[in-house]
Chains A and B, each alone.
Chain A
Amino acid sequence: KAGVTQTPRYLIKTRGQQVTLSCSPISGHRSVSWYQQTPGQGLQFLFEYFSETQRNKGNFPGRFSGRQFSNSRSEMNVSTLELGDSALYLCASSSNPIWTEETQYFGPGTRLLVL
């Protein structure tokens, strides 16, 4: 079974621009979560989608948004990019987010550099 895929793997943008990142979960998984990883703040939760609905949201400004499609693929968008948005953005999928023991499987990430 193919793992979680993320595109693009690397991205360079300038301040003020916007960016869209894509995530395809493992086949059959309906939950997708997004995390931001930076050297200073570590791994921080952005949001989670299940059945095309945002179920949970972390403490990030409204410039960060996302959506999920009927095939469970998800996109996240960051508008008006700031230098501090430079990070590795990780997507994780799971089959049933209700159960705490459910494993989240991570993709390789999209590395975003904002200049």
Chain B
Amino acid sequence: GNSVTQMEGPVTLSEEAFLTINCTYTATGYPSLFWYVQYPGEGLQLLLKATKADDKGSNKGFEATYRKETTSFHLEKGSVQVSDSAVYFCALRYSPSGSARQLTFGSGTQLTVLP
């Protein structure tokens, strides 16, 4: 079945540091890939997505490239801010027959950015 493996957390960085959160997936076809972010006490917000191989999703300084050859979708940001502190979830959605399919999530990575 489909699965997503995320880098174990928690991750603690100083402000302006470089961020990488690793995400790899297993799927039998060509899924769409997503990064969601969850701030304390809130629901999930879409951060970025990519729908086919070599696509790069980007938003608010975050980027992730859909790498089919390595089945990866690593999240990166060049300079993190305190306001980026949150839990980040990698997810995939795959629909082999065209019928509705759910999001499959990774376990989440807690990021704390210190001033």
Interface residue ranges, A against B (CB under 8 Å): 4, 6, 31, 33, 35, 42-43, 45, 48, 50, 55-56, 58, 90, 92, 97-109
Contact = CB atoms under 8 A, between A and B. Distances in A.
A101 B49 contact: yes
Contacts of B44: 90, 92, 106
Interface residues of B, number: 26
Interface string B94-115: 1100111111111110000000
B43 A90 contact: yes
Contacts of B45: 106
Contacts of A55: 99-100
A103 B95 CA distance: 14
Contacts of A48: 100, 102
Given A42-B107, A48-B102, A55-B99, A100 B51 contact: yes
